[in-house]
Structure 1
C-alpha cells in the first residue's frame, strides 16, 4: 500500500535517463545495460580480503544515483539498487561459498547526523533478508564496526593518501567483540563504491582481529 501510494504521488522514473518506468527503482533497459556488470575485481587490497565483487560501473545513471543518495539527501533513490541486487541474488544460487554475516561499512556519527542515515544500510539492507530466507543460517545482517570521525573526505585523494586516511578509521563495536560471534565465521563486507580498496582493507583487518575466518567484499559500483 505504501509503495503504491509513493509511486502514485511520485511517478517512477528511470534513475539513468528520467523516462517513465513501471515501478520505483526500475531502470530502462538501455540505462541498466550501460552500467550493469557483476564482476570480480582483481588485486585484492591488503591481506585480509579474499575477493571483491562489484555490481556496476560507477558511471552515468549509477554515478548520479549514488551522488544523490550520499550528498543530496534523496534517500528514495536508493531503490535504484534493487535490479542490481536481484541479479546478484540469482548469481549466488550456484556459489559454493556463502557468508554467515553481512556487515556494512559504517559512516561517522557526524556524517550520519548530516545525512540522516548510512547510505550503505539503505542500499543493501532491504534485500539481505531475502537472501537469508533462501539460505537459512546465512546472510545475517550485523552492525560490527564504528567509524572514527577524524578522517578526511576520500574524494580527490591519491591512493597513498587514501591508505593513510583510513588507517585506524574503524573500531569494533565493543559488544560484538566481546560476544566472539565472528569467531571462525565468513563475512561479506558491504560498501557503496570501490575505488582503491583502502576503506575495505582497513575494515577487513579489524574484522579479522575480531575472529572472522574470511572476509569478502561486495560493492554496488566501482570505477575500476
Structure 2
C-alpha cells in the first residue's frame, strides 16, 4: 500500500550557499481534508544510495578471499537495512515534533496521534515496518482509529563522502554528481483511501543531514500549503 511520506537521516543538514532547494505542494482532494480530526504519522520509507569509504575498504592484509568479500557485502547490506529502519522511525518522530511545535503558535484543525501510540497500535494489529505497504487503508484505519495517515518517502543519493566529493568537485570543476535528498510527504484519507495532499521536496548540493533538520525544513517549507490550517 503506502509507506509513502515522507531520513537517523544518516546525513546532518549542513547546507552551503551552493545547495539548491526545490519543492512543490498540491491539495488533490481539498474537501476530504476538511473532514479529518485525527491524523497518524507513519514511519518513513527510506532509501540510502551512498558510499562511505570506511565501510567498503578491506582492512585485512593480503588479498581477501571470496568468503571474506561475501561476508563484507552481507555486513554492508545489513548495516544499510538497519540504518534505513532507524532513520524511518526517527523521521516519524521528528516530523511529529515539528508539527506539534508549529501547532503551539499556529493551531491546526486536527490533532496528531502520538507516534508511540501509532506504532503500538500497528504492532498489535500485526502490521510491521516491513509489511506496512501490504495493508490497505481500511486496515490501517481499523488499526489506528484515525481519519487520515501522513506518510513519507525519502531517498538519499550520496555518490561520495562529503569530504571526497568536495575535493573532486574543485578538481573537476563541478563535473561529478552532487549529493541529493528527495522527499515526498503525502496524506491519505482513510475512509476513501484517496491521496488527498502531496508535498515533494528536493535538496541538492553539499549536504551532511540529520532527521531533525530535514523534518524542520519540510514543515517550514510546506507551511503555506500544509492543510488543516484555520
Whether these two folds match at TM > 0.5 is: no
Instruction: Give the structure-2-normalised TM-score.
Output: 0.32
- Structure ranking higher on relative contact order (CA contacts 8 Å, 6+ apart): 2
More strand by share: 2
Structure (1 or 2) with the larger CA radius of gyration: 2
